[in-house]
Amino acid sequence: MGAIPVDVKKLRIQYYAVSGQKWLLGPDGTGGLYVSKEAIEKLAPAHVGWASVDEHDLEGGYTFKPGAGRYEVAMLPVAAEAALVAAIDWMAGWSWDWVFQRVRSLATLLKQELQRLPGVKLYTPVAEDASAGLVTFALEGVEPEKAVNWLLRERKILIRSISYPRALRASLHFFNTEEEVEALLRALRELPR
C-alpha cells in the first residue's frame, strides 16, 4: 500500500496488514490492519487489553468489543498515528495514480538497465505491471553485503542485501529521480568484483 493500488473490496481480501513507515512514509512502528466484516469474527486478537474488551468479570471472562475495537490493546501512540495520517494526506496530494505510475516507471527503468549489465541476475519480474518499487538482483561474483557497504561508503548510495535469495534490493519510491537510478547503475558498473 502506497506503492501499488490496493482495492480490498475488488480483490476480496479478508486480511491486509500494512506497515506505515515504508511506502506510506510514516514513522517507524506505525501501520494498519484491514479485516473484512465477514472475517472479523474469525480473527482472534493476538493480545487482549482493557481497550479490546466490552465486558469482563473477576473470574477472567470477557467479551470482545464489536468490530475493529477488539484489536486495540491499550492506548495508541497518538503522535505517531497523527504523523502517519499526515504522511498519507501529503502523499494523496500528489494523486495516487501518479504516485503508483512514478514508482512503476522508476522500477522499470532500473530493471531494464540491470538486464544490460553483464553478470546480473534479476529476481524481480520485468513486466511493469508485475512489480512495484522493490527491485531484487544479484551480481555474479559479488557478495551482497560487501556491495552494500561499498555503495554506501564510496558512492553514498543506500540499498540493502537480503538473505533469500542472497541478493541486493533497491527500493524506489516516487521521490527518487532518474538521475539516482543512473547513479546506482554507474556505481554497479564500477563495483569491484
CATH code at position 104: 3.90.1150.10
In sequence order, the 6+-apart residues with CB closer than 8 A to the CB of 23 are 1, 2, 3, 132, 133, 173
> Is residue 108 domain-resident?
yes
Task: State the pLDDT at residue 46.
Answer: 87
> Is residue 30 domain-resident?
yes
Task: State the pLDDT at residue 68.
Answer: 85
Residues 22 and 61 in one domain: yes
Residue 143: domain span: 96-190
Chosen domain end from 30, 62, 92: 92
Residues 151 and 172 in one domain: yes
Task: State the pLDDT at residue 129.
Answer: 85
Residue 18 vs residues 12, 111, 144: alpha-carbon distances, Å: 16, 25, 27
d(Cα 13, Cα 162) in Å, to the nearest integer? 28
The pTM of this model reads 0.84
> Is residue 10 domain-resident?
no
Residues 142 and 126 in one domain: yes
> Is residue 5 domain-resident?
no
Residue by residue, pLDDT tens for the chain (193 residues) are 899 999 999 999 999 999 999 999 999 999 998 999 999 888 888 888 888 999 989 998 999 998 888 888 888 889 999 999 999 999 999 999 999 999 999 999 999 999 999 999 999 999 988 888 999 999 999 999 999 999 999 999 999 999 999 999 999 999 999 999 999 999 999 998 8
CA torsion, points 6, 165, 161, 135, in degrees to nearest 10? -40
Chosen domain end from 47, 68, 92: 92
> Is residue 86 domain-resident?
yes
The structural domain count of the chain equals 2
Task: State the pLDDT at residue 74.
Answer: 85
CA-wise closest residue to 49 among 70, 77, 76: 70
Task: State the pLDDT at residue 10.
Answer: 95
Task: State the pLDDT at residue 67.
Answer: 85
Chosen domain end from 92, 125, 149: 92
